[in-house]
Amino acid sequence: MRENLLLVSNFLLLGLATLVLATAQSALWFQIFGGFPAPAFWIPVLVYASLYRKFGQMAILAFLMSLTLKPMTVMPVPFLFFMLFLVGSTLRLVKQRFYWVGHSYFMMISGIAALLFHVYHSLGTLIIGDSSLASPEISDWLVQALLTPLVAPVLYEIFRWFDRATEFEQPSEASANII
């Protein structure tokens, strides 16, 4: 019972972090820097979930994240969830190929994830619906992919603290298998 409670708390903390970070990206950054592309503050949550959670847990967190992100974007929840799930799964595959412990890996993967999200979104619009992306904002994608790793180390430490606070068992590296 206690373990389940701690697990739920951990998920809720990560969900709360997503909300705080996404609103910071949507409103705080906008108020300070105007139209300049913001780092995808919320992406490290997905990266953390993909790298350090079981596959099923990652899927649940991706769904929780898509619900949390919905108020800040016009993307529909199913589409958003699908994109997050795809990015998360890809990151797990990447982790299987190469992985090292430390901030630098987390930073690099956060940058890749930020870029992947936009690529998948762009491809997704071609497949789903009749209004495909006419001209993607590639420069914004790149700026975001470059800025996101800068905030990743701080967030990584915060997420680790969440895990310690909720006594979350760190999954072993072998648990990063996709299935």
124 binds other proteins (CB under 8 A): no
Using CB atoms within 10 Å of the CB of residue 172, give its burial: 0 to 12 exposed, 13 to 18 middle, 19+ buried: exposed
179 binds other proteins (CB under 8 A): no
Please, what is the minimum distance in Å from the beta carbon of residue 108 to other proteins? 21
Residue linked to tokens 């930073």 = 107
Among 134, 172, 174, 179, binds other proteins (CB under 8 A): 134
Provide the token pair at 160. Answer: 């680790």
Residue 72 neighbours by CB under 8 Å, 6+ apart = 22, 23, 25, 26
Provide the token pair at 29. Answer: 């950054």
Among 135, 172, 174, 179, binds other proteins (CB under 8 A): 135
User: Which CB, 130 or 172, lies closer to other proteins?
Assistant: 130
37 binds other proteins (CB under 8 A): yes
- Work out the widest C-alpha separation in the chain, in whole angstroms: 51
User: Which CB, 93 or 133, lies closer to other proteins?
Assistant: 133
Among 11, 13, 42, 152, binds other proteins (CB under 8 A): 42
Nearest to 44 by CA among 30, 24, 27: 24
136 binds other proteins (CB under 8 A): yes
d(C-alpha 46, C-alpha 61), whole Å: 8
- Applying CB under 8 A, which residues contact other proteins? 22-23, 25-27, 30-31, 34-35, 37, 40, 42, 69, 71-75, 118, 121-122, 125, 131-137, 140-141, 144
